[in-house]
Structure 1
């Protein structure tokens, strides 16, 4: 059995009831990005997420510019579809209310630095005694044990120390952070995986679980075959930009008006490419006939393709190669990609209506459909807009 909802939205109760996590109550003590991204995914898959915020100030992301009206673009994106209550976790009343709410939730999630939840009296040992069925999730920077565990962590620091930055950029340039906050986002996604698995386990055993995810372990996990290659060879992978260490041609090439990117793996792809680009005389060049020989002659192959592509527009190159069955695409800016997606009518871009003078804020939906329907995206809450629900938990 799951909790009865405390936060009701009459306009969307019917559609919410049809979502997979309908009836799951999540007590959300997370801040910034990793935890709020996890609870955004849970909320828009139907869970009732109650976000606990510092009185008066709220989550720091509420104040990140630019703002539309009085709503931050950052906060509005990652805190959609949640409820908001204000509690001072350092006060006796705040702690009593948190414990009362924890006894009534299915999932308890926090992303405090290791040790902070325990000092506040809301660690796993305490919560699991109050509510043995609760799934307790902790997201940290460097894990719950070990000499690094109590360090504060932000995405940039973890990207640097995980080795991810060492893989990003061109070989002759310094390591560079990825353009997306991958440590935050991946740890949030892995936390959701763990929470859903623990809820499934609870449906069989009746008992909750402790789910632990760190930003560092998340990025190391995403290194997948790069990590195994290092353990097998002892060689650290090198920065190669958009190129691939074992595949040619692969990566970014310039047309007359912009760049395209292509990915090829088979021996026969070379012949298809040169024929599509009206250069059939290059098909039997022994340097490029096989995938293995192209890797040996990488620089010559890339230079020759650069010459061939320079006489065509990027759209023309892509159209020709797609007809030939070569995976390829135009290199777009994020703005261009968003406008193309919005114009496609796919529904992936949500138009979220806010009250008052804020108006409509457009943002990207979570990338999950159920039974052909997108998950509904509701406005991020005003600070403390659901404080009335706390009355249920106050002692008479």
Structure 2
């Protein structure tokens, strides 16, 4: 296996607590906005990288979407925690030149503009790789760099519709439904982080060979549906709804439980739990195909049973009989989930202006650092630019001209301390 010599530490070297994380000491310049790109960079941060987020003067548009408080939204906190923010006006020539200089010093650059936009900003892959062949450059777009849809606008909702995700989530009557989370964007961010890690692994094995990692939301959504699309190719469009019976959400006396049986053994246990052993011997329910043919009868019968008792009662009964089930929880109940409490699923973020917030990091606990607060727009501009080699005179001129901006009350050593936190 080829080996490369370790690089000298960057000025903001990782603390001892971070030294064992896989990307400790790695510099990531995140010039992306929204969700997919920022989430990719945030995963790298969780795994030890120093991530500098470049905000335009108005901030990443993700700061202004959904639940917003001041400079932050839930979205911006979720996907930018722990990063340091540098505010650059890349519409100016000086801002473009600065962005190029910073990108040349990075190990990884992440962008999610439409094709050609990064090139117009002077930070396209070709220009940077010509000067730094070891660069791992992540490009995320809606539909890819070329093709008839390359310049089409894309968002999570657009992509859920155009990639078939809404169709996969349709009601029994065929009505398509958007999945109630930013699945297209978040999944693309996950795929991007994995692909970036793979490119970095190859770089370490090949003495510094970089890569252009290109992903699209469309391809990511298709990859998510590999099984669904194969099922269609094999048998054509299947009816919407469950693939077994009984299978669904059933009301109890005081709540709801999802309940299902996927095979004969599970159906027998369910019958025993419900006090209906005769169902297991009924030829109408001999196998899943037979049960599907009588799914309506089973649903009504199971509903009648569950409605007589509380959710707590049925949880105990189903657990004792090893039946596939779960209560339908809201987010408050998920935060209070006994398993989440025992496993430490949710970390705490001390977010200035918002207080203590719960955060679910990547689930590989041994490969992540504690959650961190998301930065204000330009919170670390002066500190980062000094660390990355910008002289004080030039920095002061750029601040005066509005090429870069520093958040009020956040300059100097406070920003430098954030890199090692």
TM-score by length of 2: 0.85
Partners of 2:92 and 2:155 in 1: CA distance: 27
Mapping for residues 101-116 of structure 1, pairs under 5 Å: 101-116=102-117
Aligned to 1:311, what secondary structure does the other structure show?
coil
Partners of 1:286 and 1:63 in 2: CA distance: 58
Partners of 1:230 and 1:192 in 2: CA distance: 29
> Contact 2:108–2:136 (CA<8 Å) still a contact in 1?
yes
Q: Which sections of structure 1, spanning at least 5 residues, go unmatched?
A: none
Query: Does residue 32 of structure 1 match 2:27?
Result: no
Aligned to 2:216: 214
Q: Give 1:3 shift.
A: 6.5
Q: Which sections of structure 2, spanning at least 5 residues, go unmatched?
A: 1-5, 395-421
Aligned to 1:366: 361
> Contact 1:341–1:349 (CA<8 Å) still a contact in 2?
no
Q: Which has the higher contact order (CA 8 A, sep 6+)?
A: 2
Aligned in 2, Cα 1:26/1:2: closer, same or farther, shift over 3 Å? farther
- Mean CA deviation greater in 315-324 or 182-191: 315-324
Pick the aligned partner of 1:333 from 330, 335, 341.
330
Aligned in 2, Cα 1:325/1:189: closer, same or farther, shift over 3 Å? same
Mapping for residues 244-323 of structure 1, pairs under 5 Å: 244=243, 247-323=244-320
Aligned to 1:384: 378
> Contact 2:53–2:84 (CA<8 Å) still a contact in 1?
yes
Q: Give 1:102 shift.
A: 1.8
Aligned CA-pair RMSD: 2.2
Aligned in 2, Cα 1:58/1:333: closer, same or farther, shift over 3 Å? same
Q: Give 1:22 shift.
A: 0.5
Instruction: Count matched residues.
Output: 384
> Contact 1:99–1:130 (CA<8 Å) still a contact in 2?
no
Partners of 2:117 and 2:190 in 1: CA distance: 22
Partners of 2:186 and 2:305 in 1: CA distance: 39
**Deviations for 1:326-356, whole angstroms, at most 9, x for unmatched residues?**
121011122321233697243222222245x
Query: Does residue 158 of structure 1 match 2:159?
Result: yes
Mapping for residues 166-177 of structure 1, pairs under 5 Å: 166-172=167-173, 174-177=175-178
> Contact 2:21–2:47 (CA<8 Å) still a contact in 1?
yes
Q: Give 1:43 shift.
A: 0.7
Partners of 1:198 and 1:53 in 2: CA distance: 26
Aligned to 1:190: 191
Partners of 1:112 and 1:341 in 2: CA distance: 41
Give 1 or 2: higher helix fraction: 2
> Contact 1:111–1:138 (CA<8 Å) still a contact in 2?
yes
Partners of 1:231 and 1:175 in 2: CA distance: 20
Aligned to 1:41: 43
Partners of 2:239 and 2:292 in 1: CA distance: 16
Aligned to 2:85: 84
Partners of 2:311 and 2:32 in 1: CA distance: 44
